Amino acid sequence: QQQVKQSPQSLIVQKGGIPIINCAYENTAFDYFPWYQQFPGKGPALLIAIRPDVSEKKEGRFTISFNKSAKQFSLHIMDSQPGDSATYFCAASFAGGTSYGKLTFGQGTILTVHP
């Protein structure tokens, strides 16, 4: 019940394309869903996050879509750039309670944006 399943494992798009990365979770008690971005040789860094009381959140070119009934959420990158090439991780956790702060990560998606 703690799993977060992420797809695809890798994704290649041309500059300006709109890559979409999908995640599905099992535990309905999760109430915080972040996306992290990781460049080679660096630690992951928070990109954008959403809570289940909204269905969509935008920050710049990055959008999270959230479907609570389907237990799925996705990351869309508008007008993708070569600098967006990185590994993207979805995650889920509890916003409070005894397991506060414990993130369960998806397996990651390696995104390559060609010029």
Partner 1 sequence: DAGVIQSPRHEVTEMGQEVTLRCKPISGHDYLFWYRQTMMRGLELLIYFNNNVPIDDSGMPEDRFSAKMPNASFSTLKIQPSEPRDSAVYFCASSPTHDNEQFFGPGTRLTVL
Which residues here bind partner 1, judged by CB under 8 A? 32, 34, 41-46, 49, 89, 93, 95, 98-108
Q: Cα separations (Å) of 36 from 5, 89, 100? A: 15, 5, 18
Name which of 4 and 113 has its Cβ closer to partner 1. Answer: 4
Tokens of 26: 């099992």
| Interstrand relation of 56-59 and 62-67 (parallel, antiparallel or unpaired) | antiparallel
* C-beta of 20 vs 48, nearer to partner 1: 48
Quote the least distance from Cβ 3 to partner 1, whole Å: 11
> Contact 19/11 with Cβ under 8 angstroms?
yes
**Cα–Cα distance measured from residue 5 to residue 100, given in angstroms and rounded to the nearest whole number:** 21
CB of 109 to partner 1, least distance (A): 11
In the bound complex, what is the minimum distance in angstroms from residue 79's beta carbon to partner 1?
25
To the nearest whole angstrom, how small is the minimum distance from the Cβ of residue 106 to partner 1? 7
Instruction: Pick the closer one to partner 1 by CB: 17 or 62.
Output: 62
Q: How far apart are CA 74 and CA 99, in angstroms?
A: 24
Residue among 18 and 95 whose Cβ is closer to partner 1: 95
Cis peptide before 34 (omega within 30 of 0): no
